[in-house]
Amino acid sequence: MTPNHIQTSDALPPAGPRRRVLWIGSTAGLELGLARAAVGAQAEVTDAVSLQAAVKLVGTADAPDITPMFAILASDRPGRFAVTDVLGLSRAWPLMPIVSVAASLVDGRRRSGPQLPGIEEVPWHDLPGRCGWWLAAFESGLPSSLGLPAATRREERLLDSLTGLRRRGATTEGSLWMVRLPPVEVSVAASHSDDLDGLCDLLTLAGHPVVNRQLGRPRLEETATSLVWDVRDLGARDIEWLRLLAANRPRLFIVILDGFPRGDTVLAAVRAGAAAILGRPVSLEALAGTLLSARAAQTAQPSLAAIAGQAGLGEADRHR
C-alpha cells in the first residue's frame, strides 16, 4: 500500500454481477465525487440525474428487471429531493432500501434530523465503509442496518450492528463472501483516554484484536498491519505526523477519525498516507466495513490522480 491509498477498486473486493447500486443525484465536488468513486469500486452502479430519471430506468437496458441492492440519494445541498418523488421511486422498486448521502454543506441541517421520512442520511465520508459492510452482509444473507427505520436511535443501530458483526462471514474470493475473513490486528491511538477505551471496545466487539494502545499520537514504529487513530480535529501537525508514519510504514492501513471531515482535509490526509477517514462519533458499520478491505489493501497500490480521475474531479472541484 502506498501513501496515496484510499478505498478504491484496488483495495476492495471486485464488483460482482449481484452487486448493483443505484446512484441518484449529483457527483459534483470533491466530497460526492470521492464517495461515488468508492461505491463504484465495490459495485456496479447505475447513475440517474434525478428521481424521475431513475423511475424511467425500470425495465430498460440500463436497468433491467433486477432490483438494485439499494439506492443512494446524493444531496449536495438541503432540499435536493422531495418526498413525493421518493414515493415514486419506492413504488417502482418496492423492495429496494433507500439511503441518502450528504456532503459537508448539508451537515448542519442533517444533525437536526432526517430530511426525508424513513430514509437515513449517511455522511459522505462514512459511505464507503458502510457500503462495503452492506454489500458483504447482503451477499452473506445477514441482516444489516440498511433495513432499519431512519428514526432508529444510534444505540439501537449499534446493537443491531453487533449482531451482524458476530455472525459475519466473508471472503475476497470472487464476488461472493462465504467464509469468515481472518481478523485484522489493529493498533489504536487517541488523544483522550475515554476515546481510546471506547475504540478498543468497538474493535474487540467487531472481532479485531487490539495489539497496541497509545494515548496521544501513534508511534512511528507501529508493528500492527492496521492503525485506527482518533485525532478529534485533524490539523496540520496531525497531517505531518501522518506523513512521517506512512513513510516509515508504507504498508500500514491507516484509518483516521476526525470530528468534521471535509473534502480538502480528507484529500490532504489521503495524500499524507491515510487509507480512510471516518467521522466522529464513529459508526460501527463504517469502521467494520473499512477494516474489511484492510487485508486486500496490503497489496494495493492505487494513485490519488487515478482516484480523482475516476471521480471526474478537476482542480476547481478540490476547493468546493
Q: What are the extents of the domains in the chain?
A: 20-166, 186-305
Average of pLDDT values for 259-263? 87
Residue 146: predicted pLDDT: 78
Per CATH, the number for 186-305 is 3.40.50.2300
Residue 24: predicted pLDDT: 93
pLDDT tens by residue, 263-277: 888 889 999 999 899
Assign 237 a pLDDT band (cuts: 50, 70, 90). Answer: very high
Residue 238: predicted pLDDT: 93
CATH class in words for 20-166: alpha beta
Is 3 a residue whose pLDDT tops 50? no
How far apart, in Å, are the Cα atoms of 221 and each of 231, 274, 289? 18, 16, 26
Question: Do 20-166 and 186-305 share a fold?
Answer: yes
Is 308 a residue whose pLDDT tops 80? no
Q: Is 130 helix (H, G, I), strand (E, B) or coil?
A: helix
With b for 16 or more beta-carbon neighbours within 10 A and e for fewer, the 171-207 pattern comes to eeeeebbeeebeebebbbbbeeeebbebbbebbeebb
Using CA atoms, how far apart are residues 302 and 291, in angstroms rounded to an integer?
Answer: 17
Is 206 a residue whose pLDDT tops 90? no
174 against 246, higher pLDDT? 246
Assign 190 a pLDDT band (cuts: 50, 70, 90). Answer: very high
Using CA atoms, how far apart are residues 129 and 185, in angstroms rounded to an integer?
Answer: 18
Residue 316: predicted pLDDT: 46
Is 175 a residue whose pLDDT tops 80? no
Is 180 a residue whose pLDDT tops 60? no
Assign 154 a pLDDT band (cuts: 50, 70, 90). Answer: low
Q: Return mean pLDDT, the chain.
A: 76
Residue 256: predicted pLDDT: 94
Q: Is 234 helix (H, G, I), strand (E, B) or coil?
A: coil
Residue 92: predicted pLDDT: 85
Residue 258: predicted pLDDT: 93
Residue 90: predicted pLDDT: 87
pLDDT tens by residue, 67-113: 788 999 998 776 778 888 888 888 888 888 899 888 876 555 545 55
Task: Extract the C-alpha cell encoding 259.
Answer: 470530528
Residue 182: predicted pLDDT: 64
Report the predicted TM-score, pTM, of the whole model to 2 decimal places: 0.76
Min mean pLDDT across 99-103, 115-119, 126-130 is at: 115-119
Contact indicator for 172, 139 with CB cutoff of 8 Å: no
Residue 246: predicted pLDDT: 93
Residue 170: predicted pLDDT: 41
Residue 211: predicted pLDDT: 92
Using CA atoms, how far apart are residues 21 and 68, in angstroms rounded to an integer?
Answer: 5
Residue 215: predicted pLDDT: 94
Using CA atoms, how far apart are residues 165 and 114, in angstroms rounded to an integer?
Answer: 26
Is 22 a residue whose pLDDT tops 70? yes
255 against 309, higher pLDDT? 255
Highest mean pLDDT among 95-109, 110-124, 174-188, 281-295: 281-295
